[in-house]
Each structure stands twice: as C-alpha cells, then as structure tokens.
C-alpha cells in the first residue's frame, strides 16, 4: 500500500511530511485571478506555474505558503507534487455566486480535497493511505 501526505502549507501537515515519510507528498494550491493580489516575486510565480501546469496570478491563501512548500521540499529531500483545481472565482461562480459560509463549506472540498483525489486516482494504483 502506498502512502500519501496531503499538504496544506500549514504547520501540522508540514510536520507530518517532515516526520512521517511517505511515498508521495501532494500540495493543492488555491489560486485566484485577482490581479491586485499578484504574487510579487515573478521568478517564483513562474516556478509555481511550471509546477501546477496552469496559470498562476496569486494565491487566495497567505503567500508564505508558497515559500513554505518550496522550503519543505528541500528540507525533506523529496519532491512535492503540486496540484490545483478551479480558481477561487470559478468555485464561487460554480456555487451560484455565494461565498462559503457555515452552511456551505465547499472551498476545502473544491480547491484542496478534489484536486488531490484526482491526482491520486491518476498517479497511484491500488490502495493508498492518505495522511
């Protein structure tokens, strides 16, 4: 059975990646089309586009997460596969223009869980343990 660490960019998932080696480490990037939030470092922005194989203007999360994932990859000495789903704006539009709230908590599902699940089904055969 293969093991997969699902990374969010936060302390807990980074700790798991650093202390519980897995066959795969996967990070799902939440993107936005908001030009006002454009990622400041153009070299890193292009690197992110290469990793996700999709346009990258900015993240709807803290920009520090980008650097954290790049640093974590160096620290653990193993590749982190970057995936992405629809942009924040596309997810909002797909849910009738309503922002996520206590009743409709769809952002994590649409922008984190689903892209990682799709990556897993495309890249890992058989059973897998998700962390």
pLDDT tens by residue, 106-128: 778 888 899 999 999 999 999 99
Close Cβ partners of 30 (under 8 Å, ≥ 6 residues apart): 59, 60, 61, 84, 88, 107, 111, 112
**Model-wide pTM > 0.75:** yes
Integer Cα distance of 79 and 1 in angstroms: 19
pLDDT tens by residue, 77-111: 999 999 999 998 888 887 787 777 777 777 788 88
Half-sphere exposure of 18 (CA within 13 A, CB side): 13
């Amino acid at each position: 059975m293969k093991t997969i660490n699902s990374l969010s960019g936060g302390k807990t998932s980074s700790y798991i990646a650093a202390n519980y080696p897995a066959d795969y480490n996967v990070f799902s990037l939440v993107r936005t089309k908001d030009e006002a939030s454009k990622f400041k470092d153009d070299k890193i922005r292009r690197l992110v586009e290469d990793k996700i194989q999709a346009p990258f203007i900015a993240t709807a999360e803290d920009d520090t997460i980008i650097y954290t994932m790049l640093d974590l990859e160096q620290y653990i000495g193993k590749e982190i596969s970057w995936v992405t789903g629809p942009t924040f704006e596309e997810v909002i539009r797909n849910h009738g223009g309503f922002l996520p709230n206590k009743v409709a908590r769809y952002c994590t599902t649409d922008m984190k869980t689903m892209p990682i699940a799709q990556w897993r089904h495309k890249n890992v055969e058989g059973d897998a343990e998700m962390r």
